[in-house]
A and B are shown apart, each in its own frame.
Chain A
Amino acid sequence: MVAFGTGSKKIALELLVIAILLAVIPLVLMGNAYYELLAATVVLFSSMVVAWNIIGGYAGQLDLGAFAYVGVGGIITSELWIKAGIPPLLGIFAGGAASLLIAVIIGIPTFRFGIKEVWYALLTAALVVIFNNLSRVLMGPTDYYLPPKTGIIYLKFNSYEIMYAIASVILILTVLANLAIERSKIGYYLKSIREDELAAEMIGIDTRRYKLYALMIYSFFLGVMGYIYIVLAASFSYRMFDSSSSLSIAIMGIIGGLGSIEGGIVSAMVLRSLGEYFRSSFGSTVPGLDLLLYGIVLVIVGIFQPEGIAGIINRINKAMKKKR
């Protein structure tokens, strides 16, 4: 599934390409704060999609609840800072752990062998709706703001350039986690579960345990990203538990190609930027146009190109090799 091959030289090259691309983007934007914020958001979304690849791409479980984990992690980190004075640099780990805990509670019953994939998808889709309702009761309809302090221990800066850099670091860490999983025993087990769960169980893989590992890594990363998401959005409320954002993470992951890191990054960057463009130009007259676009692309990809963008990259790679 890895388009560029699996040698460690090639992986280093791949990381270098991603790092250079991430470094070039701010130069192009030339200090326009709106575009810098947009770029930071797009990079953060890409990291969410790459994290989703662990549960969706490698383990083959359709997780539709990304923003349940983002919301829990982000809100807990922020509340720890506001209420208890714990700096977010430490707090993000607590936030990530909280998301992980919730994910495990969801995963234990649905990852049992012989339970259809669909129940996990349903439970995660419902989880976002429930957290939305519950947090509306608990937090009320108000927006909460972070304290005005900035600095590295708060992971919060007034300059969007630095926030962009933080998002880029998170993206690279998520990519590294993906690569580590892909090349480890867990990765091979997960792929065998995705291809044929019955066969995996037959040769003695504890399918539930490995699916849970994938879920734990994924939800922890999303919980950590939640706080950065709040910093970029400047406030938080019950509206963080958003079904359509959660769906769009899964959609970008599928369109990128299951199990493909670079496909996920490309699809997140393209779709998220396009969606943002639609929202800023038509958001007031035709709301939801960005989500309509995601839905249409998802159906088309599902029917005609289930390998997603990764399939296209693979094909181009093969064609290039033939020419040589």
Chain B
Amino acid sequence: MISPELLLQNSVDGIFLGLFYSLVAMGLALIFGVMDIINFAHGDLLMIAAYFVWLTSVDLSVDPTVTALLLIPLFFIIGIGIFFGMIQPVLGKEPLIQIAVTVGLGLILQNIALAMFKAQPKAVPYSIFNFSYSLGPLTIYASKLFIAVISIVTMYALNVFLNKTYIGLAMRSTTDNREVAQLMGINTRMLYAVTFGLGVALIALSSSLWMTFGQVQPYLGTSFSLISWVIVAMGGLGGITGVVYSGLIVGVAESLGSLFLTPSARMAVVYIIFFLVLWFRPRGLFGRR
């Protein structure tokens, strides 16, 4: 029998995890909303960023959280580079080709990582958040709490950005109606580039957070991709709140799934949610269209 303490512990862990997942999926949701493209290399970009975090924090002996300051601008530029090099040339082509190019990018990143770092998982040796509180029957890990807090702060900032700045408003209007936004004088090409850069920069932030307690190996991207797709399918077009609710659902479901079933069935739970959403609510739980 599962004790109520364990249930509470797993739910709280699930909520922290869910907030982090919504941050991970945010970049994907942003790109999907504005450009109507699903980036299959999303998780693999996170994996590559996590290797950057590992390399910089080991070489410069800094905390993984500090590496975010370096990685966010770097990955913003990398994102813009990927957009002009790979996405822009296929924008007008068949959907299958558009998807395939990002599949190819993911495969390239995964196997470069495999060739360079081998399959052995890598972790950062230390982090200032490696401690935990006891709160009655609950154990709260500082790193997970920290990640959840940063995720909330980032998403709040993103919300302000999307509602108060010109670029943010342009992104929202393009999500609503591409043609009309173009007619209103929005330079969609530059907007796409910035959106892609921003989406990839958010991945860099997520990877710094992940490395405070997680490990990185070349196939890390697969599970993060799957989780992000599910979240975007559920709440992708419902704005930031849609993504956060979906992230929480996935986080809690995964956490409780590993409690009630076996831990290796975690991904199966996520997949079944994905499938059910596509079956019953193909436009998402929080979608507008």
Q: Is B97 an interface residue (CB 8 A)?
A: yes
Cβ B101 vs Cβ A129 within 8 A: no
Cβ A118 vs Cβ B38 within 8 A: yes
Cβ B95 vs Cβ A116 within 8 A: yes
Cβ B103 vs Cβ A64 within 8 A: yes
Task: Report chain B residues within 8 Å CB of A292.
Answer: 107-108, 111-112, 115
Given contacts A289-B115, A302-B101, contact A122 B107 (CB under 8 A): no
Task: Report chain B residues within 8 Å CB of A288.
Answer: 110-111, 114-115, 218
Cβ B267 vs Cβ A130 within 8 A: yes
Name the one of A110, A137, A250 contacting B100, with C-beta atoms under 8 angstroms: A250
Cβ A126 vs Cβ B94 within 8 A: no
B31 to chain A, nearest CB (A): 12
Name the one of B86, B90, B103 contacting A250, with C-beta atoms under 8 angstroms: B103
A83-91, A153-161, A164-172, A293-301 - interface stretch? A293-301
A272 to chain B, nearest CB (A): 15
Q: Is B105 an interface residue (CB 8 A)?
A: yes
Cβ B282 vs Cβ A112 within 8 A: yes
Name the one of B38, B101, B218, B265 contacting A133, with C-beta atoms under 8 angstroms: B265
Given contacts A118-B95, A118-B99, A126-B226, contact A299 B38 (CB under 8 A): no
Q: Is A207 an interface residue (CB 8 A)?
A: no
Cβ B275 vs Cβ A298 within 8 A: no
Task: Report chain A residues within 8 Å CB of B103.
Answer: 62, 64, 247, 250-251, 298
CA distance A116 to B94 in the complex (A): 12
Q: For chain B, residues 78 to 134, give those with C-beta under 8 angstroms from any C-beta of chain A.
A: 86, 89-90, 93-97, 99-101, 103-108, 110-112, 114-115, 118-119
Q: Mark A59-88, 1 if CB is under 8 A from B, else 0.
A: 011101000000000000000000000000
Given contacts A62-B96, A247-B107, A296-B108, contact A137 B265 (CB under 8 A): yes
Q: Is B268 an interface residue (CB 8 A)?
A: yes
Q: For chain A, residues 105 to 140, give those with C-beta under 8 angstroms from any C-beta of chain B.
A: 108-110, 112, 114-119, 121-123, 125-127, 129-130, 133-134, 136-137
Q: Is A286 an interface residue (CB 8 A)?
A: yes
CA distance A250 to B106 in the complex (A): 14
Task: Report chain A residues within 8 Å CB of B93.
Answer: 302, 306
Centre residue among A64, A122, A127 by max chain B CB count within 10 A: A122
CA distance A125 to B262 in the complex (A): 22
CA distance A64 to B99 in the complex (A): 11
Chain A residue at minimal CB-CB distance from B229: A122
CA distance A108 to B226 in the complex (A): 20
Centre residue among B110, B267, B274, B278 by max chain A CB count within 10 A: B278
Q: How many A-B residue pairs have CB under 8 A?
A: 136
CA distance A102 to B193 in the complex (A): 39
Given contacts A126-B229, A137-B264, A288-B114, contact A303 B101 (CB under 8 A): yes
CA distance A60 to B98 in the complex (A): 12
Tell me how many residues of A have a C-beta within 8 Å of chain B: 49
B260 to chain A, nearest CB (A): 14
Task: Report chain B residues within 8 Å CB of A109.
Answer: 275, 278-279, 282
Task: Report chain B residues within 8 Å CB of A129.
Answer: 222-223, 226, 267, 271
CA distance A158 to B269 in the complex (A): 42
Q: Is A231 an interface residue (CB 8 A)?
A: no
B283 to chain A, nearest CB (A): 9
Q: Mark A206-246, 1 if CB is under 8 A from B, else 0.
A: 00000000000000000000000000000000000001100
Task: Report chain B residues within 8 Å CB of A61.
Answer: 96
CA distance A298 to B107 in the complex (A): 10
CA distance A298 to B94 in the complex (A): 15
Task: Report chain A residues within 8 Å CB of B101.
Answer: 298-299, 302-303
Name the one of B86, B94, B111, B267 contacting A60, with C-beta atoms under 8 angstroms: B94
Task: Report chain B residues within 8 Å CB of A121.
Answer: 38, 40, 99
Q: Is B233 an interface residue (CB 8 A)?
A: yes
Task: Report chain A residues within 8 Å CB of B89.
Answer: 303
Q: Is A254 an interface residue (CB 8 A)?
A: yes
Q: Is A256 an interface residue (CB 8 A)?
A: no
Task: Report chain A residues within 8 Å CB of B119.
Answer: 287
Given contacts A116-B95, A287-B114, A298-B101, contact A123 B265 (CB under 8 A): no
Task: Report chain A residues within 8 Å CB of B106.
Answer: 295
| Sampled A-B contacts (14; CB under 8 Å) | A62-B96, A114-B282, A116-B95, A118-B99, A121-B99, A129-B226, A251-B104, A288-B115, A289-B111, A292-B108, A295-B106, A295-B111, A298-B103, A302-B100
Q: Apart from A108-B279, A194-B94, A247-B107, what 12 extra A-B contacts exist at CB < 8 Å?
A: A109-B275, A115-B282, A117-B99, A121-B38, A121-B40, A130-B267, A137-B262, A251-B104, A295-B105, A298-B103, A298-B104, A299-B104
Q: Which A residues fall within an 8 A CB radius of B?
A: 56, 60-62, 64, 108-110, 112, 114-119, 121-123, 125-127, 129-130, 133-134, 136-137, 194, 243-244, 247, 250-251, 254, 258, 286-289, 291-292, 294-296, 298-299, 302-303, 306
Q: Which 8 A-B pairs have the closest CB atoms?
A: A295-B107, A298-B104, A288-B111, A295-B108, A292-B111, A109-B279, A299-B104, A302-B101
